[in-house]
Amino acid sequence: MKFHFLIVVASISLTSCSTQLADYKGTSPEFSLTEYFNGQVTAWGIVEDYSKKLTRRFCVDIIGSWEPTENGMSGTLDETFYYADGETQTRIWRLNISPSGEVTGTAGDVIGTATGKAEGTAFNWEYTLTVPVSGTTWEFAVDDWMYMMDNNRLMNRSYLSKWGVTVAEISIFFDKTQPVRTCRSE
């Protein structure tokens, strides 16, 4: 009985310490999905497994485009990932931003609709991603956090979980400085 009580108390304590988007209210530089991801952006990233072991490295070229709609903004992020092992992967996000700032999106390897919102310097994005693993496809819940570093640089931390346990972490550094770099030119 005591053991169960300790687990409940520990769970409540850990939950109350977790980061919330409201924690970033008033911070700057302010994150704007449509401003940062407008045109070409290059990023570099790593994937770490549950034991913090580096399992993959990659570069990603992104081209973002936006247009106003009756209900806010509509856009596309066309992402091409170039992995160090030679694999190439494409993900095309179709995004909508409501007048209140709520972001929804779909992509070919995302189940259902992704949802997110920005506050101050941060953007939190949640979705279910399908990932091929050893000949089968797994579904992972993704808790994706982006943080503006300055007007040209952005840091992204993604946490992939299965059955409530974080099984992988992805770190991505975006750079929008001139001249435009591309993964293919590296």
| Confidence at 179, pLDDT banded by 50, 70, 90 | low
In this predicted structure, what is the pLDDT of residue 10? 42
Could you check whether the bond before residue 132 is cis, i.e. omega within 30 degrees of 0? Answer: no
- Specify whether the CB–CB gap between 111 and 105 falls below 8 A: no
Residue 38 lies in a domain: yes
Does 185 score more than 80 pLDDT?
no
Asked if residue 3 is part of any domain, the answer here is: no
159 lies in some domain? yes
Query: Residue 84 belongs to what domain range?
Result: 30-177
Give 26-61 as a DSSP string.
T-SSPP-HHHHTSEEEEEEEEEEETT--EEEEEEEE
Which of these, 175, 172, 176, lies nearest to 156 by C-alpha position? 172
Quickly state the pLDDT bin for 6 (edges 50, 70, 90). Answer: very low
Total domain count, the chain: 1
CATH number, domain containing residue 113: 2.40.128.20
pLDDT for 53 equals 97
Does 152 map to a domain?
yes
Indicate the average pLDDT of the chain: 89
Tell me the residue length of the chain: 186
Q: Would 16 be classed as within a structural domain? A: no
**In a domain? residue 18:** no
Does residue 14 surpass a pLDDT of 60?
A: no
